[in-house]
Amino acid sequence: MRVLVVEDDLDVARQISDILLQAKYVVDVAHDGEEGQFLGNTEPYDVVILDLGLPKLDGLSVLQYWRQAGHEMPVLILTARDTWREKVAGLRAGADDYLAKPFELEEMLARVEALIRRSSGHASPVLECGPLALDVSTTRLTVAGRPVELTALEFRTLAHLMRHEDRVVSKTELTEHLYDQDFDRDSNVIEVLVNRLRNKLGASLIKTHRGLGYQLTVPEDDA
C-alpha cells in the first residue's frame, strides 16, 4: 500500500513516515502544497495524509483540486486548529476523515488502515481468499491455518492482490502501489516477488495472464 504524506513540519512528517514504514507501507512525502498537489495528481495512492496549513498552496485548495480532477483516493486531513468550521470545510471539500494536532501516531495509523479498508470494500482488517487469511493491521498471514512469514514487499504485493481478488492486476499497477516515485519501473522485480509468493502460498493461487498481469483466485476444487 502506498501513502502520500503532505506535511510542512519536518519533524511531524518524519514521525508519520516512520510509523507508516514500520507498518510496511510505501511512503512519499511532500513538504508544500504545490508538490503535494502534483504528486497526488500524477501518482496512484491508496491514501493521502494532508495537512491543511501548508506553504505555497493550502491543503484545502489541494484537496478541492484533486476532487475536481476526479481523484478518489481516501484523504485524511490534519489540522493544528481543532475547530468545527475547519473540520466541516475539509469534509465538504472531499476529505474522508480528519485528525487535529497534536494526535497519537497509533490513532493516525488506525484511521489510515480503516480508510483503506473502506475504499476497497472490506469492513474487516483480515482479508480472506480460499486458504489465505491476511491481517493487514498486523501483517500476519496464515495459509490453511499455518503461519507464513512475509517480507514487506511480499506483504504489500499479496495485500493488493487480495484487495482485488479475481481481478487481473497489471504489473504497472502493482509497481505503482508497491514503490515510491523514484523506483526503476522497468525492473523485473514484480516477477520475482510473484514467484516468491507462489513458493510460499502454492503455485495455483496466483495466475499469470500474459501481457495483462496477475490474478489471485481460488481454484474450483479448493473453493
The string of pLDDT tens digits covering residues 26-83 is: 999 999 999 999 999 999 899 999 999 999 999 999 999 999 999 999 999 998 766 7
Average pLDDT over the chain, rounded to whole? 88
Helix H or strand E segment including 204:
none
Please, which pLDDT band fits residue 117 given cuts at 50, 70 and 90? confident
Where does the pLDDT of residue 180 fall: very low under 50, low under 70, confident under 90, or very high at 90 and above? low
Tell me the three cell numbers of residue 29: 512525502
Q: Any bridge partners for residue 194, and if so which?
A: none
Q: What is the dihedral of CA 169, 175, 179, 184, to 10 degrees?
A: 180
Grid cell for residue 195: 514467484
> Residue 124's pLDDT is what?
74
Which domains can be identified in the chain, with CATH numbers? 2-119 (3.40.50.2300), 126-216 (1.10.10.10)
Alpha helices in the chain (DSSP H): 10-22, 33-42, 59-68, 84-92, 105-119, 152-163, 171-178, 189-201
Q: Which three three-digit cell numbers place residue 104?
A: 497519537
pTM of the prediction? 0.73
Average pLDDT score over residue span 78-89: 79
- Residue type for 181, please? Q
What are the pLDDT digits (tens) for 130-156? 899 999 888 899 998 999 999 988 998
Tell me how far CA of residue 59 lies from CA of 7, 15, 42, 52, 55, in angstroms: 9, 19, 17, 4, 9
Contact 76, 83 (CB under 8 A): no
Task: Produce one character per residue of 135-148: b if its CB has 16 or more CB atoms within 10 Å, e if not.
Answer: ebeebebebeeeeb
